[in-house]
Homo-oligomer: A and B are copies of this chain.
Amino acid sequence: MRIARVIGSAVSTIKVDSLRGSKLLIVSNATVDDELYGEPYVAADAIGAGEGELVLVAEGSAGRHTDLTAGAPVDAVIFAILDSLEADGRTTFRKS
């Protein structure tokens, strides 16, 4: 799963029915030190994440293993909001 930051959202009125009512957020992958890298992409939100929060994203078919995304064309889902990260013996991130 990827560490990612929520940086925005996507709005669409013409979409498949299985995603009506779903919140589609724009996320960017992040390092353990909370530095963004790579091109942003879109993930379905399964836990009520807000802009600016550091989250975990599950990709591929894992994206459909939540109540909100089952059966929909989803290949990335936000399934956790991060409280803290520990790496190499130190706290690299703590939610403020």
Contacts and interface: CB of A to CB of B under 8 A. Distances in A.
Contacts of A58: 73-75
Interface string A1-45: 111000111111111101100001010010110000101111110
Contact of A26 (B13, B29, B48, B85): B85
A26 B82 CA distance: 13
A46 B16 CA distance: 7
Interface bracket on A:
35 or more
Contacts of A62: 60-61, 63-64, 72-75
Given A24-B1, A58-B75, A80-B15, A37 B37 contact: no
Given A11-B84, A12-B82, A24-B80, 4 more contacts: A7-B87, A14-B47, A16-B47, A16-B80
